[in-house]
Amino acid sequence: MTGLKRVGRSVLAVCLGALAALIVFGLLLGLAWLLPFAEQANYKTATFLLAAAVSLVAGGGVSGLLAGRGRLFHGLIVGLVLGLVASAYILGPRWWLAVVVPLSGLLGGLGAWLAGVLVRASGTVFPPDGTGQQ
């Protein structure tokens, strides 16, 4: 029964991390493209890449916070899945997809690592493990 709880929490952490990444990406890109000079192609490309990087870090961080154990692994999974799906859909089968997908995984892992640093600095156990100890 404990194994089933752990798997459920892992799946929930990855799904909510991916959802958080999509929300952050939409908000950042929407706000960046409201500016008056957003019609330039270079600006759109730069803000797209920056919003994607920040959203992958945010998604990995949310996933890492919710996962408990194995934070880095959950962040890597969020980054790899989102990087693979989004890049393959947008770019199609290209040779540099083999570079973009691992970088997305590393960005997700960076977010999970930062979440772990945050939890260790706060001195609390997040998510609560049910033992009542801090």
Nearest to 127 by CA among 48, 10, 46, 26: 10
Domain hosting 15: range is 2-122
In a domain, 133, yes or no: no
Q: How confident is the model at residue 111 (pLDDT cuts 50, 70, 90)?
A: very high
Rounded-to-integer distance, Cα 49 and Cα 25, Å = 10
* CA distance from start to end of the chain: 24
Instruction: Classify the C-alpha dihedral 121-78-62-22 as positive or negative.
Output: positive
In a domain, 85, yes or no: yes
What would the pLDDT profile of 77-97 be if each residue is shown by its tens digit? 999 999 888 887 877 777 778
Tally of domains in the chain: 1
Position 132 scores a pLDDT of 45
What would the pLDDT profile of 11-50 be if each residue is shown by its tens digit? 999 999 999 999 999 999 999 888 777 788 888 888 888 9
Count of CB atoms situated within 10 Å of the CB of 33: 14
